[in-house]
Amino acid sequence: MFQQTSYSEQLTFFQKLRSFDYILLLCIISIGVISGFSMYSTDGGELLYHSKSHIIRLVIFFTMMICFSFFSIKFWHSVGYLFYVLVLGLLIMASLYGVSASGSQRWVSLYFINLQPSELMKIAIIIFYAKFYHRMQISHVNNFKNLLIPSAILILPILLVASQPDLGTAILIALSGLVVLWLAGLHIRYFVYSSLALIISMPFIVSFLEPYQKLRVLTFFNPERDPLGAGYQIIQSKIAVGSGGLTGKGFLKGTQSYLEFLPEKHTDFIFTLFSEEHGFTGSVIILLIYAIMVFRITRIGTIARSSFAKLFCYSFASAIFIYVSINMSMVLGLLPIVGSPLPIMSYGGSSLLATMIGFSVVMSSKIYHRQSIS
C-alpha cells in the first residue's frame, strides 16, 4: 500500500481555477440569467422586490458556490454528518419556533435570512448517505442491521417536514434519499417491498392527508371538476403554456402571468411564465440546459475517484433531474400540484442556497477528482 499523494496540496490556485467544469458553470450562469429575466417579468417589467432580491441572492450564492468549490472533497466528506445534524436541528427548530406562513410552519428566522431547513435537508440527506455508504461494501449494504440507521436518518426529516405540513418537500427529500440508496447498491427487493407496502398503506395515508391535499390529488385527476377552485392553477398554467405556441408571446408579454391569471408565478410556476413568453423553443432550450447540467454532473461523478464524490455527484444529478421533471410535469398538468421549486429558476433563498451548496460539492469533486478519501 503506497502512500497516497495528496494532490490538493500540490494544486496551485490557477490549476484549481482551470479545472473548474466550465460547461457546468455556463449552464448555471445561463439558468441564473434566464431566471433573473423571468423574475423581472413576474414583477411586471419592473425591478421590484422579487426580481431584486432574487438577483442579489443569485449573485451572493453563486459567489459563495465558487468559493466553496475550493474546499477539498475531504472537507465535504468530513462535514457530512455534521451538516445533516445541523439541518435536522434547524428542522426541529422550525417545528418548534418556526415562522408560519400560509398555513404551514416551514421557516426559521435567522438574523439575515428566513431559512427553510427542509430545502437544505434535500442536499444534507445526500451528503449524509454519500458519506455513510462511502466505505461500505455492497454485501454490508444489504445487511438488515445496516438498514436501520439509514432508514431512521431518512424517515426522521420526512416526518418533520410532512408535519409542517409540506408534502411536496417531504416527497422530494424521500426521493433524494432513495436515489442514493439505489445507487449504493441496496437490493432491488427492498424497493419492491417498500413500494408494495406503500401502495397497501395508501388508503391509510390518504386518511392522514390534509383536506387541501386530498383536494389537490382529486383535482389533478380532473382539473375541470372545480375550475375556479382547486383546479384553477392547473387550468391556468396549461392555458399559459399552450398559448405560448412555438415562439411564445414575447418577453414581458405573457398575458396570463402579467394579468395575474397565473398563480405562484414567482415560485412553482416560473417555468409556466417562461414557457408562455418564449414558447416551445424557449422551453426546450431550458430543458436542454438542465439536461446538459445533469449530464455534466454525472460525468464528474464518473471521473471522480472517491466513491463519496461519485455517489454524491450521481445522486445530486439525479436529484436535480427529479426536481426539474417533477416541477415541469406539475405545471404541465402531468402530476398533481405539490410545492416543488424549479432549481435556480424559482424564487426562494433556501432552495437556491441548497442547490448552490450541491454545486460546490460537485465542483470540488471535479477539482479534486483524483483525490481519494482515506
Binding site for another protein (CB under 8 A): 1, 137-139, 179, 182-185, 236, 238-246, 255-256, 259-261, 275, 279-280, 283-284, 287, 291, 294, 298, 301-302, 307, 310-311, 314, 318, 321, 325, 328-329, 332, 334
Q: How many CA atoms does the CB half-sphere of 14 hold within 13 Å?
A: 0
Q: Which is nearer to another protein, 21 or 166 (CB)?
A: 21
Q: Pick from 74, 99, 38, 7: which is nearest to 251 by CA?
A: 38
Q: Which is nearer to another protein, 210 or 260 (CB)?
A: 260
CA–CA distance, 98 with 95 (Å, rounded to integer): 6
Q: Which is nearer to another protein, 9 or 224 (CB)?
A: 224
β-bridge partners, 107: 99
DSSP for 67-105 reads: HHHTS-HHHHHHHHHHHHHHHHHHHHHHHHHPEEETTEE
CB 90, min distance to another protein, A: 30
CB 239, min distance to another protein, A: 5
Q: How many CB atoms lie within 10 A of CB 222?
A: 10
Which residues touch 323 (CB under 8 Å, ≥6 apart)?
172, 340, 341, 342, 343
CB 240, min distance to another protein, A: 7
Q: Which is nearer to another protein, 174 or 328 (CB)?
A: 328
Q: Which is nearer to another protein, 108 or 294 (CB)?
A: 294
CB 93, min distance to another protein, A: 34
CB 12, min distance to another protein, A: 30
CA distances from 371 to 7, 69, 144, 258, 364 (A): 6, 14, 32, 50, 10
